[in-house]
Structure 1
């Protein structure tokens, strides 16, 4: 019953935020980076954040989440606040990065750090190395989720998938809370979007998946690779795009439309089609993780799949 209440809360909060944004003309304007053609209200991620933190507190007081993970996830509140003001006023990139760095350090502090980075044949347990890796992983996951948030339902459906996959694999209630917080918003964002989540939603979700990945890896080192595979549709696209733009000697801070999902829409695919195909790919990634016990073989299969998908997209719309 509680999870249904969270869904209803997210649903109606998004509805009221949408109407308020329209009334106050708080809409995302069409620009050179946009994949939409009509100015649309943004800030729907506020509903996700409020619902998520209410659910998180409920889990804590009902002893359904570990204390260190609770506080690490609660730190995401700060990035939500800063991203909310960034949606309104476009804050300095340096200020945003500074906040992300502070939040990453706080999250790692409450988790007790990142203990072991395993590569199957060998492990790295040096506290400095593992935590430098975790620090940059958190910052990268925050930003890449923000980069990928560009078409209707894409980020929302990705994190619904991650929530369902997490629950099926680990059975923890926090995944149900996350799913309900997003699902209420996704009703208004899927297919013909009536509102976007904005930075306030995307940065929080990116932070959450990074913290969850590290926390579960502290319980079992190979769990990190499970989350990396499940999240690979996003990080593979974002990372490869960044590398390609660097090779092309482009200014990385400049707006662009070169992510895989953006090139597919330029090639004539609808937002609905791109999002639905991404869901299909995610299901395949889950099946790889679920049925292949050797996580590193699973990771290699994941990479092969994504490389072939990217080659297909390159033929549809070349990376220029």
Structure 2
């Protein structure tokens, strides 16, 4: 136990060190019309998160021992490294979205290839699509201090307790390393941002959470529902926004400020309200997942209650948009 705790402390400290370095490197994110900040802020905090995570993952797997459901260490780290390198290049020099998508699909295919359960064409295609969706979902939602990083931290802390006992050895090295690395970043980003995570952090976190979802889905039963329930706040916001923009004839790939959390922020709600609210939605999803795993709640009820919470939030944001004159969204 002491060895495991020490490893996660080291991962946390390494993340803190790297985030501090990236603050002094000062690659600035200059505000644009859709930004929630109005002064240039350093970006690249995700380098601290993902580098510390990848550095801690291999020794964590050694401490917890082998697990058949876990992705192969080298391939998993290689896929994340590829995604992070392309994401950092995009942060430095904004490139066409096609480059980002190619990197996401390449990383997703590498990860699925490292998961022994995903061998048929159908499961491979489904797994790749899920990973790319999760990477973009988390990336889309990373526009407010602490919202994505805090939600990711909450999800990683809850997953080992929600997963089937047989999966604990497989997922704990991933969730523990990611939680420690993310915890090293959050104090520099919330409530007042000294640095942003950038695409490196948001896409990397999304890909890791997506991988955990694939691992749990392979376990069978209702375990596949755990990650979607935990991330229901982010997933519903993205799906609602994409459908609304598509129906309005607007581009779904062009950057905008029409996500529910962005509209709520434009209506006057601060990040100190919106980020904890997102964390609370993750905790709510975790409670529903726990009740589901205990057999106290059927699958349809768990998703209905998760959707009901999101429906209330959507209607509240729509009300604020009407009463606070946020303009077109």
TM over 0.5: yes
Between the aligned partners of 2:321 and 2:38, the Cα distance in structure 1 is 19
**What secondary structure, in the 3-state scheme, does the structure 2 residue paired with 1:150 have?**
coil
Query: How big is the shift at 1:131?
Result: 3.0
Of 292, 303, 312, the residue aligned with 2:316 is 312
The corresponding residue for 1:78 is 82
TM-score by length of structure 1 reads: 0.90
Cα distance, 1:165–1:70 mapped onto 2, change above 3 Å = farther
1:256-306 CA distances to partner (integer Å, 9 max, x unpaired)?
A: 111111011111011111011112222222111112333332112111221
The corresponding residue for 2:11 is 6
The corresponding residue for 2:140 is 147
Query: Unmatched 5+ residue regions in structure 1?
Result: 116-126
Cα distance, 1:31–1:176 mapped onto 2, change above 3 Å = same
The corresponding residue for 1:17 is 22
The corresponding residue for 1:100 is 104
The corresponding residue for 2:226 is 226
The corresponding residue for 2:121 is 128
The corresponding residue for 1:123 is none
TM-score by length of structure 2 reads: 0.88
The corresponding residue for 1:62 is 63
The corresponding residue for 1:35 is 36
The answer to which of 235-244 and 284-293 deviates more is 284-293
Count how many residue pairs are aligned between Structure 1 and Structure 2: 305
The corresponding residue for 1:263 is 263
CA contact (8 A) 1:167 1:173 kept: no
Query: Unmatched 5+ residue regions in structure 2?
Result: 1-5, 323-327
Query: How big is the shift at 1:19?
Result: 1.3
Is the aligned partner of 1:138 residue 2:118? no
1:173-196 CA distances to partner (integer Å, 9 max, x unpaired)?
A: 321211110000111011111000
**What secondary structure, in the 3-state scheme, does the structure 2 residue paired with 1:173 have?**
helix
Structural RMSD (CA): 1.8
